[in-house]
Structure 1
Amino acid sequence: MTPPQEDPPPPIREDDRDTAVRRLQEAYAEGHISHGEMDERLDQALVAKTHGELVRALTSLPAENAGTTSTIAAASGRIKRRGAWRVPRFLKVESAFGKVYLDLSQADFEHPAVDIELRLEYGRAKITVPRDAVVDIGDLETVWKDARYEPPRHPRPGGPRIRITGAMGFGRLKIRHARR
């Protein structure tokens, strides 16, 4: 009598792998793992063939806080946030037609790293960040005009890390650091 054959484990979906990579990058940005450890774990996640191998790459990371994502959306018109407002860990901004203005200079950052995902078809966006913020726009896709951002000449340490991703259709993103 032959033993019953076990079904092979289901393949890893790309969404699962992308989620693992994002969690590792967040853990690094928040200071939970070192740069070398992030590189090592990213390698594990990218070559993982089973869910068990993928889970091992995420071992000892803090649990995800699902309640820190917010979405601001408008079909047309203006999206505006300024003054003292609480910035979530993940902020998604969606607008088909209209202008977006986010002033983060007086905002309350609950997390040392913030991801802002822009989904703008037409219209422009202007984001004012704190003087000591570190801004990354490397993963932002622009169709018509490039984003305008000039990092400060003498950056101050200790500020929030702001990563801006997403896609901009026909409009421009302008980022500036607050003067005071």
Structure 2
Amino acid sequence: MTAEPARSAARMRASDADREAVVEQLREAAAEGRIDMDELDERLNLALTAKTYGELAPITDDLGGGPAVQATGEPLVLRGGIHGVQRKGAWQVPPRVLVHGGIGGALLDFSGAECGQRVIEVEVEGQMGGVRIVVPDGWGVDTDTLDPALGGLRSKVTGEREPGAPLLRITGSCGVGGVRIRRPGLRERRKKR
């Protein structure tokens, strides 16, 4: 019964972000000396021409550090609605997250999350309540294509992305409520201990 969903997930079409996540994992493996330059070139060609998750998965299977691609096509969708929504504590990070602030706002806290992804696509719609994102130390954040709209972007995330750490690629619109990005505070750090 579980073989059929796994087989159908392997046949799902891979996105550019999925291929890019594999490319990033391959480059890090080459920088760490786990594969040589010839093997890197060969695997990069395979990754860039892969059309499905089933074609991408074997390219990085022997590299460890968690899968670069999760064979689930379903993004995590959070909708703030009137009362708001939070995703925090221990949770499994999918390759794609959609967050709508609604009126009550949305909190997306990665500080206690389990993440096997190299690149996580986070599409935000700040709407009225806005979106708050908590990013662990060492993780990278890319907001280059995020539309500031009326609410704007306020990011307190500084520092370099550590090798092997995930990259959050945040796109969408800040809406009226805006998007706020920060590192874990004292409270989150205590809870993690």
Report TM bin, short chain: 0.5 to 0.7
| Among candidates 138, 146, 170, match of residue 140 of structure 1 | 146
Greater percentage in helix? 2
| Among candidates 154, 175, 178, match of residue 169 of structure 1 | 175
Q: 1:113 Cα shift?
A: 1.7
Identity rate, percent? 24
| Among candidates 65, 90, 93, match of residue 96 of structure 2 | 90
Paired amino acid for 2:136: P
Please say if residues 139 and 167 of structure 2, whose CA atoms lie closer than 8 Å, have aligned partners that are also in contact.
yes
Partner SS for 2:20: helix
Q: 1:155 Cα shift?
A: 5.2
1:80 matched to 2:83? The reply is no
Structure 1: state its 5+ residue gaps: 1-18, 42-56
Mapped partners of 2:142, 2:160: distance in 1: 16
Q: 1:59 Cα shift?
A: 4.0
> Structure 1 pair 116/87, CA: closer, same or farther in 2 (3 Å)?
same
Structure 2: state its 5+ residue gaps: 1-13, 31-40, 58-68
Greater percentage in strand? 1
Mapped partners of 1:161, 1:142: distance in 2: 20
> Structure 1 pair 75/112, CA: closer, same or farther in 2 (3 Å)?
same
> Structure 1 pair 74/114, CA: closer, same or farther in 2 (3 Å)?
same
> Structure 1 pair 146/28, CA: closer, same or farther in 2 (3 Å)?
farther
Q: How does 1:1-180 map to 2 (within 5 A)?
A: 21-31=16-26, 58-59=49-50, 62=56, 65-153=71-159, 156-178=162-184, 180=189
Q: 1:68 Cα shift?
A: 4.8
> Structure 1 pair 150/95, CA: closer, same or farther in 2 (3 Å)?
closer
TM-score by length of 2: 0.61
Mapped partners of 1:94, 1:75: distance in 2: 8
Mapped partners of 2:161, 2:18: distance in 1: 27
Q: 1:58 Cα shift?
A: 2.0
Q: What is the aligned-residue RMSD (CA, Å)?
A: 3.2
Q: Deviations over 1:64-106 (max 9, x none)?
A: 7244522122432211111111111111112432211111111
Partner SS for 1:62: helix
